[in-house]
Structure 1
C-alpha cells in the first residue's frame, strides 16, 4: 500500500513535472520568440539610429552651410548698408553740388544780364557818340554861345560884386547915421530930464507943465513924422510914453509904420508935387 501510494504520488509528481516542463518549454519558446523579436527590434533600432545619425550628420552639415550662408548674407547686408550710407552721403554731396551749381548759374545769369545791359548801354553810347560827331558843328556853335553867356555872367557877377560893395558902403553909412540918431535921442532924453528937473525946482504950475509937455510932444511928433523909418521906430517908445499908449496900441503904432523914409512916407501926396 505504501509503495502504491508512493508510485501514485510519484506519478502525480511526474505528471506535475511534465506539465511544468511543458510550461517551461512553452515559456522558453515564448522567450525565444520575444528574444527574436527583441533582436529584430534591436537591429531595426540600430538601423534607425544609424539612419538618424546619418540624418544628424547631414543636418549638421546643412546647419554649417546655413550658418555660412547666414554669415555671408549678414556680411553682404552690412556691406549693402555701408554702400547705402556711402551712396546717401554721395547723393547728399551731389545735391549740395547741384545747389551750389544752381547758385553759380543764377549768379552767372545775373552777370550775363548786367553785361548785356552794359553792352546795350555801350551801344547806346556809341550811337550817341555818332550823333555827337554828326552834330559837332552844332555843338561848337552852342559851346561858343555858352562861352558868350559865361562871359556875360562873369560881367554880371562883377557888376553884382560892385553893387554889393556899394551896398556894404551904404550900410556902413546907415550904421553911422543910426549911431548919430541914437546920440540925438539920448540928447533929447537928457534935455527932457533937465527940463523936468528944472520944472520941479522952480515949482512950475500945472499949466506950465502941460505947456512943456505939449511942446515936447509936438517936437517928438514932428521928428516922428519927418524922420526915416529906423529913427521913427526908435521914437515910437517916447511917443507912446507921452501919449500914454498901452502895449497893444504901441504895437499897432509900430506895425503901422510904412516902409518908406521921410515925411513923404506919411503924406504920399507930396510925391506928386
Structure 2
C-alpha cells in the first residue's frame, strides 16, 4: 500500500517551507531524516532569504534549486552561491555552523526561489567526521533527456549512473522534470524510496497523486510516473538508518548525550565564527 504524507507548512514571512520528513508516518526514508520543500516564491526587490548562522552535527545538508540563488557561508570559511541544478553538500560531522542568504545582486530586482533542502543522517561510523563543504556545478551531474523526461542524479546512484557527490551510505536522490504526457519508470534498486512532487499534476501507476506531498513507495516495485501537466519531482531514499536517530533542532545523532553536548557548545560559541556574519540563531528554549 503506497503511503501519501502531507507535509507541515511553515510560513517564513511570505516564504513557505513544507516539511514532509520527519512525520508520524515516516521518521526517515533511507538516510534522509529531513525533507523540506522551499517555495515556490517570488520575492520583491530588496527582499530575500536570510537564515542567520546556525549549527549542525551528525548529518549532511543537501540543497538543490529549480530556480533562484542562495549564498552559503560556513565556519570552514566556505562561501558559495548555489544556482539552479547545482548541488551544495555540507557534511556537518562533529560540528559546523552556516548561514544561507539571498545574494545582494539578486535582491536588486524581483526574483524567484524554488527548491529542496534535505538532511542525510550520517552512519554511526561517520557521525563525528571532520566537517566539509562541497559544491558541484549542474553540468557535472549525470543527466539524461528522453521522451519528455529530464533526469538528474543529485547524489548516490540511480539508473546506472552515479553522482560525483561523496555520500556515506547507499543513497538515491534524483531530480525529475517531465513534460505533459511523459512517463518515467522509477528505479527499483533501493531498499527505501519516496517521491515528492513539487509542482504539477501527476499519476502513479494510473492513479492521481497530489503535488506537494511525499509518496512512500513499496519496496521492490517499479511504479510508472506520468505527467498530466509539466511536473517537477524529487526521488529520494536508499539504505535504511543503521540505528535510531535523535533529532533536536538542527542536531542529529544516535546519542542523546551528544546532542546535549552540542547544545552546550552552541551556547558557549564553540562552533566557530562564520566569516562576515555578526548575527546568529540562539539555541531554542525547548
TM-score above 0.5:
no
Identify, as 1 or 2, the structure richer in helix.
1
Q: For the pair shown, which has the larger CA radius of gyration, 1 or 2? A: 1
Indicate the structure whose relative CO is greater, using CA pairs within 8 Å and at least 6 residues apart: 2
TM-score by length of 2: 0.16
